[in-house]
Structure 1
Amino acid sequence: MAIFRAREVAQLTDVELTEQMSKLQLELIKHNGKVSAGGATENPGHIRELKRTIARLMTEQNHRRTA
């Protein structure tokens, strides 16, 4: 899954924000499930990047709601 930067997130539409958010959250759940089951992820830094990207998307959504 692609990791979005703040500039890229700002260019997404509201529908795209929601779709990307759900895709990234699902991917994060899969990674966390794999780790909690005792497995190791191929790239541990990817979980951190997923969390940061989800936070960027949520920040943009909140910004649009207040603006």
Structure 2
Amino acid sequence: MKIKELRQNSEEDLRKKKDELRKELIKLNAQVATGTTPKSPGQIKDIKKTVARIETVLQNKEKKQ
């Protein structure tokens, strides 16, 4: 997701999306730990970046209030 898209969402939506992505990241890390390769090798990196973007947007929204 792009940062512009994230800024348009509400804080509640961002928190839900972050939780979903973290759960998906846990599943992918478990696959890697058991030796199974994920569908897309770069998927873990993309999820981590998206979570970081969401956290940044949430911090910016909290500072504005």
Task: Identify the TM-score tier after normalising by the shorter chain.
Answer: over 0.9
Q: Does 1:8 align with 2:5?
A: yes
Runs of 5+ consecutive residues of structure 1 not aligned to the other structure: none
Q: Does 1:65 align with 2:62?
A: yes
- Percentage identity across paired residues of the two chains: 30
TM value normalised by structure 1:
0.91
Q: Does 1:23 align with 2:25?
A: no
TM value normalised by structure 2:
0.94
Query: Separation in 2 of the partners of 1:53 and 1:7?
Result: 12
Runs of 5+ consecutive residues of structure 2 not aligned to the other structure: none
RMSD between aligned residues: 0.6
Show structure 1 runs of 4+ deviating over 6 A. Answer: none
